[in-house]
Structure 1
């Protein structure tokens, strides 16, 4: 086998490849390593070699390779062998071409042993001592290894060599390094002989980015630009013709009158991989920012730095981009995306749209309506934008990452804005946020879930399904013709309040809190009011006070006795608005969602105050007054002393002046 060309410089961040050579005793491990390192066949071969660094100038890849030889002499060395294998980046398994039993040992012991140790790295099988093989038993390497490779898919490459005759020794370590730096497994399914789905998605995104005129094909100019970007060298016209000819001969749909199609682009990469030129595809992927998992590298996504009481929103540029891409994939122009169209929109992301927009099961149905069967059949743009806004609020880095995947053209940081701190909003008595988060508290069966369902347009149901973990609902609230806000309702189960408040900064992300109770149930009211006090106290203690509203749900039922007096007393004592009566069953919300948004927009109002909080504030006011009195008294004393000194000084000057005049007059006379 001829030695492959070195290809382009690999931008991989790895500084070394740890190659562990293992195999039966006498299979040629040590001779292979020494010959590769010293370029000289050893006369006396030690039983086990220490880690050996291969010379950089002998290998086309720029990374040095600390190689390690493992002994298989006795069971006492098994632990050491296992440790070395588990630290490997790639494993070279050797057998002796003149000893068939060492070949059988690979499938009988070594390959199963690697699986038992959970060593999930590429394996290179090397037949050593090629010069000693019996000439009367000439069998092709493919015939020998094909059954083993079918059984053990982790085998990357098979090669034969002779350390004594210096035959293909460098190639062994070249392929070992290549298996790490340009692995096959993430790109290609050996069993089906096809590109893996994630690889297809990445290459499709690259194709779309290079298809500048968006006509579905790479013209000669676009193909040349792609070549220059990835390989720093242009294609000659004859080379472009040759590339398209190869594709067209294999599949006619790979080329059309406009140029190389996506089908042809994918075919070329499958062809490169089949021919062992994985470095070509990896160079392309890494040039466009992909890592070894065929996901965007972390350094391509700008970090988001924000204080606990700040939030992240999509910018107008990002929303305009989402509208444009929504329209582009709305093939039938019906103003909605069906599952097939949604899947196509996200076909350039590593995972499907269910994994992107439904990245958390709690938020999967945060805004979409369901049909009678509970299925999603379409998505309007408002729902599409709502899910992106929710994703950006809760995980801005993930949101930016997926915007890049679906083709956001600008700087990723231009897609988001970090809002002003809530503490500053309270001082300025206004919030300019477009996305407001409301925590919904209340006891079981108070009506929290029914409220969320109605908020996102789901029909009322008499059935009770307890909420055991946080749940989200998001929708647009029209406060006025000019004022539209995204409101996120986060339902907090009664059992989840303690866990929430265990974090000192838990209320920092809350713009407003709503406390729901069943107005027909006195115990429901009592629990809800206790939660209100608990949340208010936590806000006072941590400095993350939040506006609060009380909601009296199930207004269609008779209220419990003393309900009005109790609720009036609590609301007046704590300085919040009287409970807002609603009936989800009757569809009467009494303008609740607009009231929530209005209260959140004016965060200095509706902040509850506990007895402890009032006492604390009164104490601080007394201390401040005392300090002011002391300060004023001290200032008066200082000013008085200064005035006295000035007066005394002036008196002294006046007296001296008079004496001088008298003296002068006396002298004159």
Structure 2
């Protein structure tokens, strides 16, 4: 159960075979004495906050082993933060039932919580057959990695009873699994990345090492206490002996810093590393906590999120810092390095992978880099903000991104202030949609056709004639996805321009595209989110179907949009199609297609409005007439 903030309680369920001493263990921990008469199943028992150093109360849930109570036990186990599994030291069969029944059972209903294995009744063990706990438990712990700790205790002799629930609490508050790979005996990648970011933040003079003064400052920030000179010498001696590259003339290197944390964890001092991570804002999943990203991106469906000018400038600086070979592109290794302080590289998967402009060697250009950020900001602003902070953005998070004006206001004002244009690309199969998306990011044309079944994106900066630059994001919507998309009222709210692509050599492609155009236009009219639309006649290098031009001209005229733009991606003749998409977005009140139904509704509305005007003028005339009549009547009465 991952918690984003600070935990206020820990819930521990105790389970195991009948007669293994579960209830006696709980009662003994709560009363700090051996109870004489223990009921078969205890009610929930609470250990107060001051019971353990972490000052977090522990609620312990006892359980019955009987078969008829199995449903209740499963429910409790699902709500648990940790599970204590008991066996009796004097009954070897109860130990074997842990790995034949209890541990597989926990896995069966996908419990992901830490497990503490506890041998109860230590005082009753047969001393003629001494056994090492480590020898017995080692193979079981190899097989069941969820086991955090094994411990033996005796409620009757008061041996290691409070320790049982201390380990259970510690396993929840300071879990091993996110930090350390038990099998490989190494820190996990996400933990390394977080510690690297913390190291960089603490290395204030940016010389690649933590000096004594920086180490001391780090210690005060995390543990509210300075390091004594002798302690600094001691820490350095350990590093020097075990890993010489962990130190240099300037102080403790990143290698040394990571080594120390691995050492703490191996020695069971996980709370040290967790204290450091939490001081720097990390949650149980080693991601920044929600309170470190306090910005709410609440917005209307027709508003979008963009980076501010200062954020773009910050990212330009980051790009040049990591472009080590100054070739104007970030190679894969440079990009990995740039994101090595984030939980993972955010662009390794769809929809970001391959959405930006790359050079021949697979490196991402500056335009591609900024466009990927613009795309992530548009689709997932919280993730974008978190990653800005991971890569070193130190400004106020609230001013890193901004929310655009509503689209209906843009239409009213007949202009838009948006720097990012989001364009939906519609069209039937094999119309040439993907080729247009690829040409936006300079990807070479491929003759062999593969059908696109998933939505995909490309994004790039487009320079315009007036010298302004905007980022264009193309979102390809496969034909079979259109119905699903349009089933939502807000389907077109996020769209600045809709482009309808057809194969100009294929009459059937044209027919399907006009059907799509009418369907989308109708949805826009009904939802109030009508969008500027453009027709694109793709494959202009092939012979057009006979009536191609007349059909296109007729539909454009009837629906009130521009004539189709002929393009040939194969011949690289794009007819400034991307500039024209941006131009359409800049005049959000124009090029919105009208259907017959929409037009008659509009005419009807205009007729009603005109009639109301006539009625109100008529009503005003009546009012004026009445006033004149009253004035005349009162004068007549006065003279009479």
1:365 aligns with 2:354: yes
- 1:3 aligns with none
**C-alpha spacing 1:260/1:648, structure 2 compared with 1 (3 Å):** farther
Superposed CA deviations along residues 454-510 of structure 1, whole A, max 9, x for unmatched, are 222122232222222222222222112521111112222222222221111111111
Shift of 1:248: 2.3
| Counterpart-to-counterpart distance in 1, 2:95 and 2:578 | 74
- 1:218 aligns to what SS in structure 2? coil
- Which of 63, 68, 79 aligns to 1:70? It is 63
Q: Structure 1 residue aligned with 2:113, among 121, 131, 135?
A: 121
One of 493, 496, 505 as aligned partner of 2:478: 493
**CA pair 252-500 structure 1, distance change in 2 beyond 3 A:** same
* 1:173 lines up with 2:165 in the alignment: yes
Q: Is the 8 A contact 1:11 1:286 kept in 2?
A: no
Q: Check whether the contact 1:217–1:261 (CA below 8 A) recurs between aligned residues.
A: yes
CA distance in 1, matches of 2:77, 2:565: 67
CA RMSD in angstroms comes to: 2.5
Give the C-alpha shift of residue 645 in structure 1: 4.7
- Partner Cα distance (1:61, 1:142) in 2: 28
Q: Say if 2:85 and 2:117, in contact at 8 Å, map to a contact too.
A: yes
Which of the numbers 556, 559, 565 marks the counterpart of 2:550?
Answer: 565
Counterpart secondary structure, 1:217:
coil
Would the alpha carbon gap of residues 346 and 623 (structure 1) be closer, same or farther in structure 2, given more than 3 Å must change?
A: same
- Show CA shifts across 1:299-322 (max 9, x none): 322221111111111112221221
For 1:98 and 1:133, how far apart are their aligned partners in 2? Answer: 5
Structure-1 residue corresponding to 2:325: 332
- In 2: Cα distance, 1:76 partner to 1:599 partner: 69
Determine the C-alpha separation between the residues in 1 that align with 2:311 and 2:539. Answer: 40
Q: Secondary structure at the match of 2:10?
A: coil
Q: Which residue of 1 aligns with 2:338?
A: 345
* Residue in structure 2 matched with residue 617 of structure 1 by the alignment: 602
- Decide whether aligned partners of structure 1 residues 303 and 359 sit closer, same or farther in structure 2, where only a CA change above 3 A counts: farther
Q: State which of 444, 447, 465 in structure 2 corresponds to 1:459.
A: 444
**CA displacement at 1:78 relative to structure 2:** 4.2
Counterpart of 2:117 in 1: which secondary structure? strand
* Residue number in structure 1 paired with 2:620: 635
Indicate the residue corresponding to 1:295 in structure 2.
287
C-alpha distance in structure 2 between counterparts of 1:565 and 1:617, whole Å: 27
Structure 1 match to 2:504: 519
Q: Distance in 1 between matches of 2:68 and 2:544?
A: 80
CA shift for structure 1 position 199: 0.9
1:435 equivalent in structure 2: 420
TM normalised by structure 2 equals 0.93
SS of aligned partner of 1:350: coil
**Does the Cα contact within 8 Å between 1:460 and 1:585 map onto a contact in 2?**
yes
Inter-partner Cα distance in structure 1 for 2:408 and 2:77: 55
Residues 422-450 of structure 1 deviation map (CA, whole Å, 9 limit, x = unaligned): 11111111112111112222222322222
Matches within 5 A, 1:232-251: 232-251=224-243
Out of 193, 204, 210, the position equivalent to 2:202 is 210
1:317 pairs, out of 310, 323, 341, with 310
1:608 aligns with 2:598: no
Give the CA deviation at 1:16: 2.6
Partner of 1:7: none
Counterpart selection for 1:270 from 262, 271, 275: 262
Match of 1:195 in 2: 187
What does 1:147-186 align with in structure 2 at a 5 Å threshold?
Answer: 147-186=139-178
Deviations 1:560-601 (A, max 9, x none): 333333322222222221222222222222222212211111
How far 1:143 moved relative to its partner? 3.5
Answer yes or no: is 1:475 the counterpart of 2:437.
no
| Alignment CA distance shift 1:256-1:597 (3 Å) | same
Q: Which deviates the most, 128-137 or 303-312?
A: 128-137
Inter-partner Cα distance in structure 2 for 1:114 and 1:553: 58
The 1:377–1:43 alpha-carbon spacing in structure 2 relative to 1, beyond 3 Å, is same
How many Å separate the matches in 1 of 2:340 and 2:469? 32
**Which shifted more, 127-136 or 441-450?**
127-136
What CA distance in whole angstroms lies between the structure 1 residues aligned with 2:100 and 2:548? 79
CA separation in 2, counterparts of 1:318 and 1:238? 44
Aligned match of 1:30 = 23
Relative distance call for 1:24 and 1:557 in structure 2 (3 A) is closer
The 1:28/1:494 distance shift into structure 2, 3 A limit, reads closer
CA–CA distance in 2 between the matches of 1:637 and 1:47?
A: 91
Query: Does residue 107 of structure 1 match 2:93?
Result: no
In structure 2, the CA distance between the partners of 1:239 and 1:363, relative to structure 1 (3 Å rule), is closer
Deviations 1:205-241 (A, max 9, x none): 1111222222111222322222222222333333333
Deviations 1:239-271 (A, max 9, x none): 333333332232222222222211111112112
Q: Deviations over 1:63-114 (max 9, x none)?
A: 3222123333x54444444444343221222233344443344334433333
The structure whose Rg is larger is 1
Alignment partner of 1:383 out of 368, 381, 389: 368
CA 1:151–1:468 in 2, change beyond 3 Å: closer, same or farther?
closer
Residue in 2 aligned with 1:13?
6
Give the drift of 1:200: 0.9
Listed as ranges, the gaps of 5+ residues in structure 2 are none
The answer (yes or no) to whether the contact 1:370–1:458 under 8 Å persists in 2 is: no
Q: 1:227 aligns with which of 199, 204, 219?
A: 219
Change (3 A) 1:327 1:93: same
Q: Which residue number corresponds to residue 584 of structure 2?
A: 599
Aligned residues of 1:449 and 1:491 also touching (Cα < 8 A): yes
Query: Counterparts of 1:543 and 1:182 in 2: how far apart (Å)?
Result: 52
SS in 1 for 2:579: helix
Structure 1 residues 99 and 330, CA gap change in structure 2 (3 angstroms):
same
User: Does the CA-based 8 Å contact 2:332-2:363 persist in structure 1?
Assistant: yes
Q: Aligned pair in 2 of structure 1 residues 507, 122: CA closer, same or farther (>3 Å)?
A: same
1:585 counterpart = 2:577: no
Counterpart Cα distance in 1 of 2:624 and 2:354? 70
| SS class of match (1:18) | strand
Cα gap change, 1:632 to 1:169, in 2 (>3 Å)? same
Worse-matched range after superposition: 265-274 or 79-88: 79-88
2:78 is the counterpart of 1:90: no
Note if contact 1:97-1:129 (Cα within 8 Å) is conserved in structure 2: yes
